[in-house]
Amino acid sequence: MNKLKEVLQRLRPEFNKGGKYEKFRSTFDALDTFLFVPGHTTHGGTHIKDGIDLKRTMFMVVISMIPALLFGIWNVGYQHFRALGIESTLLENMIEGSIVVLPIVAVSYMVGLGIEFAFAQIRGHQVNEGFLVTGMLIPLCLPPSIPLWMVGVATAFTVVVCKEVFGGTGMNLLNPALTARVFLFFAYPAYMAGEYLSNGDFLWVSANRSEAIEGFSGATSLSLYGEKKAPVASLWEMFVGLEQGSIGETSVLAILIGALILIITGIGSWRIIVSVFVGGFVMGLILNAINAGLPIKEQSIYMAANPLSHLLMGGFAFGAVYMATDPVSAAQTNLGKIYYGFLIGVFTVMLRVWNPAYPEGMMLAILFMNVLAPLVDYFVIESNKKRRLARVK
């Protein structure tokens, strides 16, 4: 370790102002502080500080995504071989999945961190760690067959337009990873919401239609419900994640493991996670009740769907646990978080069922509530002010 420290110390002058590599100072700082927590001491204020910092916080979120990532890699392989009608082993699934998923992850991190480092350098800031999380969320919320250049374009778009334009980490209004997804969703709809791509590839499976076995469908439960057909997967399969979908979103089980990590460490807000699920479930029940009151002809299989299936299908769980909880774009007051989460759940199910143009309501519901979060907070803060004033005897 001392050797490494010596090397870094020897290199430092080159990166300082006036040095040969002055332009890479932020990058050097980021690397240096990643390896060694600086020996900075407190000055003014409290003399001691908590062991927690933003690096650790963000890293914990990344750790919580590992179960979903690993399952996603496996499932990409599994679905690939299933489409081709080939029996495959765990290892084969993982290898095939890795070939598809890891390049997407790599592109997301390289493009995003590259832009972040450049902005930090221009602004004379230090590199914030927020992108560690965003860079992993982007691949997990995209279909496995997404072209790599699209990943790059979407990442660049979100880092610049969603984040840096507003002032960087901590200042953005919208969730950056979802902004990347929504950018692709509207710019290249066929690549985000169809079943097949123009070249004949399945969207949700890394396989070509011409090679697939007969009877294999590229449809997800969500898209089938959208077409008023019964889903292919059972509730149990949806829970475990043995279905097609975006890379990290299919396994509710893996996502719940992540949720547990986030809630126990206190890094993800349990208020948001729980209330999103409750909101979705309640809206599912309401739709059931409305449906039951309609004439038989107008009843729909989607409105009658088991409310639980809404929580297990598509990106609901993934959005609730990893996207809605982004502290920067979510509501910031404790009470506000509950309203915010609940409304995300409600709007998601509402969009899914009543707006067939958008089979996945989660993304739009979260972005919509990102925009409304300051308003939710405003009402909570005003009620606090009123309550405080009311104490006058």
Q: How many CB atoms lie within 10 A of CB 126?
A: 12
**Residues 133, 86 contacting (CB under 8 angstroms):** no
Nearer to other proteins among residue 41 and residue 210 (C-beta)? 41
Closer CB to other proteins, 60 or 150, in the complex: 60
**Residue 54 CB, nearest distance to other proteins (Å)?**
5
Q: Which two tokens stand for residue 97?
A: 């999945």
Contacts with other proteins, 52-91, as mask; x by CB under 8 A:
xxxxxx-xx-------------------------------
Query: Is 4 a residue that touches other proteins (CB under 8 A)?
Result: yes
Maximum CA extent, the chain: 79
Handedness of CA 167, 173, 176, 182 (dihedral sign): negative
Q: Which residues have C-beta within 8 Å of that of residue 70, sequence separation ≥ 6? A: 254
The reply to whether 297 sits near other proteins by the rule CB under 8 A is no
Nearer to other proteins, 50 or 87 (CB): 50
We find the least distance from the C-beta atom of residue 229 to other proteins, in angstroms, to be: 42
Stretch that binds other proteins, among 11-19, 164-172, 313-321, 360-368 (CB under 8 A): 164-172
Closer CB to other proteins, 115 or 267, in the complex: 267
Among the listed ranges 98-106, 169-177, 249-257, 299-307, the one in contact with other proteins (CB under 8 A) is 169-177
SS3 state at 202: strand
CB 220 within 8 A of CB 244: yes
Binding mask 97-126 for other proteins (x = CB under 8 A): -----------------------------x
Closest residue by Cα to residue 115 from 133, 101, 100, 128: 128
Q: Where does residue 355 fall: left (phi above 0), alpha (psi -120 to 50 degrees), or beta otherwise?
A: beta
Which residue matches tokens 């399952």?
71
Q: List the Cα angle 107/113/118 in 5-degree steps.
A: 130
Q: Applying CB under 8 A, which residues contact other proteins?
A: 1, 4-5, 33, 35-42, 44-57, 59-60, 126, 128-130, 168-171, 264-267, 269, 327-328, 330, 332-334, 337, 381, 384-385, 387-389, 391-392
